[in-house]
Amino acid sequence: DTGVSQDPRHKITKRGQNVTFRCDPISEHNRLYWYRQTLGQGPEFLTYFQNEAQLEKSRLLSDRFSAERPKGSFSTLEIQRTEQGDSAMYLCASSLKTGQGYTEAFFGQGTRLTVV
């Protein structure tokens, strides 16, 4: 296992189209996070899963965004009816939660979305 992988690395879409991104976390990690990052800003939290359960979702997140993690393995993030403001780098990260705490989060290389 070489780390968190995301697919695709780049996506250009027309406004109004739907897009879906995939994240494969480090295999033994039970937590998975989605973040969004725009130029000059820190990663902005979107949502996170522990195993297959979506435990937290940003209150700022539009209803056009939905995420799933079937079977607690890979995750998908879907954006419906994309808008130009959705253009950003979408980062996925994973970590391991144990009874004593949790490990650091490892980030994937991200999917850069451009909405034209």
Partner 1 sequence: QQPVQSPQAVILREGEDAVINCSSSKALYSVHWYRQKHGEAPVFLMILLKGGEQKGHEKISASFNEKKQQSSLYLTASQLSYSGTYFCGTDRSGYALNFGKGTSLLVTP
Residues that bind partner 1 (CB under 8 A): 33, 35, 40-45, 48, 55-56, 91, 101-102, 104-110
Residue number with CB closer to partner 1 (56 or 78): 56
- Least distance CB 56 / partner 1 (angstroms): 6
Within a 10 A sphere around the Cβ of 7, how many other Cβ atoms?
A: 14
- Least distance CB 99 / partner 1 (angstroms): 12
- Least distance CB 48 / partner 1 (angstroms): 5
Torsional sign, CA 20, 40, 49, 103: positive
